[in-house]
Amino acid sequence: MLKGVAFDLDGVLTDTARAHYRAWKKLADMLAIPFDEEANEALKGVDRMGSLALILGDRPGHDEAERIRLATLKNDWYLEEIAHFGPEDLFPGAREALEQCRAAGLGIALASASRNAPLLIARMQVAELFDTIIDPASLAAGKPAPDIFLAAAEALGRAPAEMLGVEDAPAGVQAIHAAGMKAVGVGDRAALPDADWIIPAIADFDLAAYSA
């Protein structure tokens, strides 16, 4: 029996992908590292430090202190990009999807790799629809490890088998399954072949289809 849902944020409820891309691109250009939209695809669902590690690769000269400085610089540029986010930046149907879960009495968790997720949902005026927001900084490992979804289940007091995860990235779907949950993929089947259900957009979210 379904008792809880954990939603990713970027690409599921709103689109901050362009803002992330522009900030990472600016950093890569500063470091003279080739980076384009194709390379950016590998960062989907990956946390900030993990994304930085992918960009830097095995290039020498970046100790832990320098990596933290670079990640902070990227985040500052990203915050500038999202400074004016508001309710209009929610995807169509995003609030309604959350309200479906609320009306059904389900626990609702935000399971985003973004440390700025609490700021974003507050600006988009949906923070009150979440029972818990998982802090990715508190986890031992990011997606595709199951940590964030296991933490969501624990915070909601639900067993993982009673939970549903909603993701737009292959790493996210992998994390959901590794946690022992079913996955709703937002996108297309070719990009998310392992999702249990596929919807083109969050506006197509239908809780009844996943509760049967």
Residue 116 annotated as part of some ligand binding site:
yes
Residue 197 annotated as part of some ligand binding site:
no
Residue 188 annotated as part of some ligand binding site:
no
Residue 113 annotated as part of some ligand binding site:
yes
Residue 69 annotated as part of some ligand binding site:
no
Q: Where are the alpha helices (DSSP H) in the chain?
A: 17-30, 37-40, 48-56, 64-81, 94-103, 117-123, 147-156, 170-178, 207-211
Residue 48 annotated as part of some ligand binding site:
yes
Residue 167 annotated as part of some ligand binding site:
yes
CA distance 173 to 185: 7
Residue 46 annotated as part of some ligand binding site:
yes
Q: Are 181 and 147 in contact (CB under 8 A)?
A: no
Token couple for 94: 């995003």
CA distance 143 to 147: 7
* Catalytic (active site) residue 10: yes
Residue 43 annotated as part of some ligand binding site:
yes
Residue 211 annotated as part of some ligand binding site:
no
Positive or negative, the CA dihedral 187, 133, 153, 179 is positive
**Catalytic, out of 10, 29, 135, 204:** 10
Residue 95 annotated as part of some ligand binding site:
no
Residue 47 annotated as part of some ligand binding site:
yes
Q: Are 152 and 4 in contact (CB under 8 A)?
A: yes
Cis-peptide, bond into residue 136, ω within 30° of zero: no
* Catalytic (active site) residue 8: yes
CA 212 to centroid of chain Cα atoms = 26
Burial (CB count within 10 angstroms: exposed 0-12, middle 13-18, buried 19+), residue 100? middle
Q: Are 91 and 201 in contact (CB under 8 A)?
A: yes
Residues annotated within the binding site for substrate are: 8-10, 24, 43-48, 51, 74, 112-116, 143
Q: Binding site, residues?
A: 8-10, 24, 43-48, 51, 74, 112-116, 143, 167-168
Q: Which residues are catalytic?
A: 8, 10
Annotated binding site for Mg(2+): 8, 10, 167-168
